[in-house]
Amino acid sequence: MGAEIAKLCEDAGADLISCTTGFSVTKDQCFEAEFSPEGGRIFFGAEVKKLCKKAKVAVVGKIRDPQMAEAALANGDADLIIGSRTHLADPYWTLKTQMGREDEIRKCMSCLECFKLFRPGAHNMRCAINPFVGYELTATEHNVPISGHPKKLLIVGGGVGGMQAAIIAKKRGHEVKLVEKTDKLGGHMRLAGTPPYKDSLIRAMNWFIDEVERLNIDVEYNIDADLDYIRSCGPDVAILAFGAEPARPPIKGIERCIDAWDILSEPKKAPAGKEIVVLGGGTVGCETAEFLAFRGNRISVIELTGELCRDQEQQHKEHVLMELSKRGAALLTSCAAQEIGEGFVSFIDGAGKMHTIKCDAVVCATGQRPLHPDWVNELRAGGIDAYTLGDATMTGDIRRATRSAFDIVMAL
Ligand SMILES: Cc1cc2nc3c(=O)[nH]c(=O)nc-3n(C[C@H](O)[C@H](O)[C@H](O)COP(=O)(O)OP(=O)(O)OC[C@H]3O[C@@H](n4cnc5c(N)ncnc54)[C@H](O)[C@@H]3O)c2cc1C
Ligand SMILES: Cc1cc2nc3c(=O)[nH]c(=O)nc-3n(C[C@H](O)[C@H](O)[C@H](O)COP(=O)(O)O)c2cc1C
Ligand code: SF4
């Protein structure tokens, strides 16, 4: 039908047919999510081109990879490729492709953070991995103003926030040292990219890691920095980007749990074919539950409030809950865990009735709290200009981490 309509447009004099589908309420048919296939709408162009021989035909929709774009043109599926979020995440996508620097492209994760623009009260366009979006008059990735006061910066923590701070600081001409507790960069973004359908987060994380390397930023691994270490480095500015730690509620037997973060840190060692209870049904709890369900475990999620995955973007929330339901997970909202014992969890439901579930393991995903909240003031009291960013300020998300890094470093 769409191709026939396109033909009518061509007959009426259209020079260009732009093939898109859906509108805001059709969600991933109009703007694809993390779980949607890449380039899944290119075939519309091929269909239209069978009927339209004069007009040029354009296609759009999660086309992130220049090779995919080139193939669509070469196959004759389209005459023109359109990118929307593709260019929000990296406005230099086309230029980098033209220059043969495709591996430097920061590929959109399809996380849909940018659609928060349409929420009541929102002002600026935003992008989780490109903090320059909406601030292009101040700076862009390749036009970062040099600081008038170059400083010696120590950045503690190599998650996405710390890496973003290091990247902008280096471009501003500061002397940058980034220290990381583990033997790799990435922080919680590595865990966030582990559940099913989240590999675009790993790809984006790798862009930050590669960019740190491209800029030749001084990184030291396996440094568990404390206040003495930070002082001993003698920085003009300390940027504390060490993230957050899991927070456990005072439930009897809670020490028997495994933290969701530990499960996702070592995915190959995660249980398979077991009976598992997940405590906490936020994004971390639900996505860890989904990951475990995909490994053939039988899952129950116990959530205190009436809503699961409440902090996740709507399309992704619906998708995770659909995947869990499809795999027979018991999704228990308005339920409060009472005790974790040998092979069981007891809980009270919303009506006050007590229940017991038998299980092989209990996974705790009941939230996290910022690490070392007092360090920033202690450093300032000692005369070091210090700032905290990302999850170290409050439990947040990737956009909050990159955005706070931008705000801090652009002011130095
Ligand atoms: C399962 C899961 C799913 C998620 N899903 C999403 C999502 O879909 N979208 C989204 O936007 N966000 C998501 N998040 C949240 C997002 O990953 C975090 O908000 C973000 O990664 C925080 O970045 P950060 O740099 O502030 O901290 P972190 O990523 O936690 O990085 C902190 C780094 O500091 C290091 N460190 C700690 N202490 C020290 C020390 N003393 N010295 C040196 N280094 C230290 C750590 O090893 C770590 O590498 C998810 C998180 C999880 C766990
Ligand atoms: C902020 C934003 C606003 C959009 N508004 C519209 C719109 O009004 N009408 C429409 O048909 N598509 C709209 N789109 C969808 C895009 O045109 C495009 O089809 C979709 O985002 C997929 O391409 P991408 O993966 O490159 O973003 C919008 C996309 C974004 C990111
Ligand atoms: S906010 Fe997410 S979906 Fe939107 S452009 Fe950035 S990476 Fe892509």
Judge whether residue 23 has pLDDT over 80. Answer: no
Domain identity same for 277 and 337: yes
| Distance from the Cα of residue 261 to its chain's centroid | 15
Residue 126 lies in a domain: no
β-bridge pairing 275-279 and 361-364: parallel
pLDDT at 147: 95
* 30 CA from centroid of ligand 2 (Å): 7
* 241 CA from centroid of ligand 1 (Å): 9
pLDDT at 122: 75
Residue 362 lies in a domain: yes
In this structure, which ligand is nearest to the CA of 238?
1
* 85 CA from centroid of ligand 3 (Å): 6
Domain identity same for 262 and 361: yes
User: Cβ distance 371 to 187 under 8 Å?
Assistant: no
| Structure-block tokens of residue 285 | 């709890």
pLDDT in tens, 229-279: 999 999 999 999 999 999 999 999 999 999 999 999 999 999 999 999 999
- Whose Cα sits closest to atom 5 in ligand 3? 85
- Whose Cα sits closest to atom 2 in ligand 3? 111
Cβ atoms < 10 Å from Cβ of 343: 13
CA gap 308, 314 in Å, rounded: 11
Judge whether residue 1 has pLDDT over 90. Answer: no
Domain identity same for 201 and 285: no
Domain identity same for 334 and 380: no
Residue 137 lies in a domain: no
Domain identity same for 267 and 220: no
This prediction's pTM: 0.97
Residue 34 lies in a domain: yes
For ligand 1, say whether the CB of 19 is within 6 Å of any of its atoms.
no
pLDDT in tens, 317-373: 999 999 999 999 999 999 999 999 999 999 999 999 999 999 999 999 999 999 999
Which domain range does residue 323 map to? 254-366
Domain identity same for 209 and 267: no
Domain identity same for 163 and 229: yes
Domain identity same for 158 and 190: yes
Give the chain's domain count. Answer: 3
**Probe ligand 2: pick from 31, 36, 114, max atoms within 8 Å of CB?**
31
Residue 106 lies in a domain: no
pLDDT, mean of residues 219-225: 98
Residue 121 lies in a domain: no
Q: Determine what percent of the chain is predicted with pLDDT higher than 90.
A: 92
Domain identity same for 406 and 310: no
CA gap 407, 388 in Å, rounded: 11
Residue 13 lies in a domain: yes
Domain identity same for 288 and 389: no
**Probe ligand 2: pick from 19, 21, 28, 30, max atoms within 8 Å of CB?**
30
Judge whether residue 96 has pLDDT over 90. Answer: yes
